[in-house]
Amino acid sequence: MVDDREIIYFDPVPTPRTAVDRREIQGVPLASDVRFDSLLGEPVVIAAHRQSRTFLPPTDRCPLCPSTMERATEIPEHDYAVVSLENRFPALERCEVVCFTSDHHATFASLSFERARLVVDVWADRSAELGARPGVAQVFCFENYGSEIGVTLSHPHGQIYAYPFITPRTRGVLELNPLGGSLFADYLALETATDERVVVADEHWVAFVPKAARWPYEVLMFPRRRVANIPELVDAERDSFVRCYLDVLNRFAHRFAEPMPYVAAWHQAPVAHRSRWWLHLQVFSIRRAADKLKYLAASESAMGVFINDTIPEAVAAELRAVTW
C-alpha cells in the first residue's frame, strides 16, 4: 500500500491483482504502550493514536469497499473475495483487518458456504504466519458485529491481533490446566453430557450454551477432535465448522426482529503452549431481550463477577427453535 502496509488478496481461483494504491496518505505512527497493572498482574494497551480512526462513515465513504474510478479506498482493486490488510490504526504492532466480502451490505451470516470457507482458510493462513513471528505470544481472530457492540466500520469484516503476551483469560485457563491436563476434555464432556444446552452439532463440531454463561446469549463451539489452533483443522473439520457456524449466526440473526449484535472470538493456543489447549470459538451477544441490552455495570466491570439475566437452558431452547 502507499504507506507501506501489507495487503493480501485471497481468491477462490488464481486472480491477477495489479491495482495500485493511488491515494496520497501518510502512515499513522504506532504509539501503543503495553503497560502492566502491578496490582492485578494484567497488561493494558494504551493506544491513544486510535482516537483519530475512522468512525462510522456513510456507506459511500466506507474505506473497506473496493476502489472505484471516483474514489480510492483501502482496497485498491475494483472487486475482491477476501482481503487481509494491516490495520491503519493498530492497537498493537501487528493488527490486521480481514474483509469477508466486497459487498458492503452483507453479513457473515449471509455469506455463501464457499465464501465462509475461504474466510476460515484466511484465518488459518494468517494465524500460522503471525504466530511464527518473533515476539508474538498469541494470535486472536475475532469479529465485532453491530453498532451496539461498538463497531466503527459497518462493512463486514473482522480483525486479527498478534499479542506480544498471553492474554489474562488464556493465562487463567492454562493455570487450571497444568502440563496438558484433562481440563478441556472434562469440561466438554460435562457440558455436552445431555442435549439440553446443545444448539447444533455434527460429527466434527458441537455448539452449546455453557452452563455458566456470562452473556445473555452465548454459544461455545468446540471441535470434537482436540486441536490447538485453526491451522490444525483438516478440510473436513473446516467444512463442518462453516456449516455449524453459519447455522449459529443465523439463529442469532433471527432470534429477534432485528439481528443481534455479537462478538465472535477464537480462543487459540498461545504459541508456546499448544499441547495444553483445545481450540474453541465463543459467540456472544449483549442483547438480553428484544428491546434491552446487557451492560457491564459495577459487579462485572469492577469485580469481574458476571450476573446473567437469562437461563442458559432456556436460551439453548430458544435458539434451537429459531427458523429462517
The number of C-alpha atoms within 13 Å of 214 and in the hemisphere containing its C-beta is 12
Rounded-to-integer distance, Cα 278 and Cα 13, Å: 32
For 39-92, how does the pLDDT look when each residue is reduced to its tens digit (9 = 90+)?
999 999 999 999 989 899 999 999 999 999 999 999 999 999 999 999 999 999
Beta partners for residue 174, in sequence order: none
For 245-275, how does the pLDDT look when each residue is reduced to its tens digit (9 = 90+)?
999 999 999 999 999 999 999 999 999 999 9
CATH number for the region 7-167 comes to 3.30.428.10
The CA-atom distances, in angstroms, between 196 and each of 203, 254, 314 are 18, 21, 9
pLDDT category at 193 given cuts 50, 70, 90 is very high
Candidates 277, 276, 255, 251; CA nearest to 266 is: 277
Is 169-321 in the same CATH topology as 7-167? yes
Is residue 81 within 8 A of residue 11, CB to CB? The reply is: yes
Give residue 31's pLDDT. Answer: 84
Give residue 203's pLDDT. Answer: 98
The average pLDDT across 19-30 equals 89
Give residue 134's pLDDT. Answer: 97
Domain boundaries, the chain: 7-167, 169-321
Rounded-to-integer distance, Cα 273 and Cα 124, Å: 18
DSSP annotation string for 19-87 = --------PPPP--EEEEETTTTEEEEE-GGGGGS--S--GGG-TTSBP-SS---SB-SS--SEEEEE-
Task: Specify the range with the lowest mean pLDDT, choosing from 27-31, 154-158, 281-285.
Answer: 27-31
Is residue 282 within 8 A of residue 267, CB to CB? The reply is: yes
Rounded-to-integer distance, Cα 121 and Cα 10, Å: 9
Alpha-carbon 42 to chain mean position: 22
pLDDT at 181 over 90: no
List Cβ<8 Å contacts ≥24 apart for 19-28: 19/67, 19/76, 19/77, 19/78, 20/76, 21/72, 21/76, 22/67, 22/72, 22/76, 23/72, 27/3, 27/88, 28/52, 28/88, 28/89
DSSP annotation string for 254-279 = HSSSSPPPEEEEEEPPPTT-GGG---
Give residue 180's pLDDT. Answer: 82
Rounded-to-integer distance, Cα 319 and Cα 323, Å: 9
Rounded-to-integer distance, Cα 114 and Cα 318, Å: 28
The average pLDDT across 104-120 equals 98
At 276, list the grid cell.
495444553
This model's pTM is above 0.85:
yes
Give residue 45's pLDDT. Answer: 97
Give residue 288's pLDDT. Answer: 97
Amino acid at 9: Y
Give residue 28's pLDDT. Answer: 84
244's enclosing H/E stretch is: helix 235-254
For 128-147, how does the pLDDT look when each residue is reduced to its tens digit (9 = 90+)?
999 999 999 999 999 999 99
Q: Which CATH architecture has domain 169-321?
A: 2-Layer Sandwich (3.30)
Give residue 30's pLDDT. Answer: 84
Give residue 27's pLDDT. Answer: 81
Give residue 276's pLDDT. Answer: 95
Radius of gyration of the chain (CA): 20
Q: What is the mean pLDDT of the chain?
A: 97
Residues involved in catalysis:
157
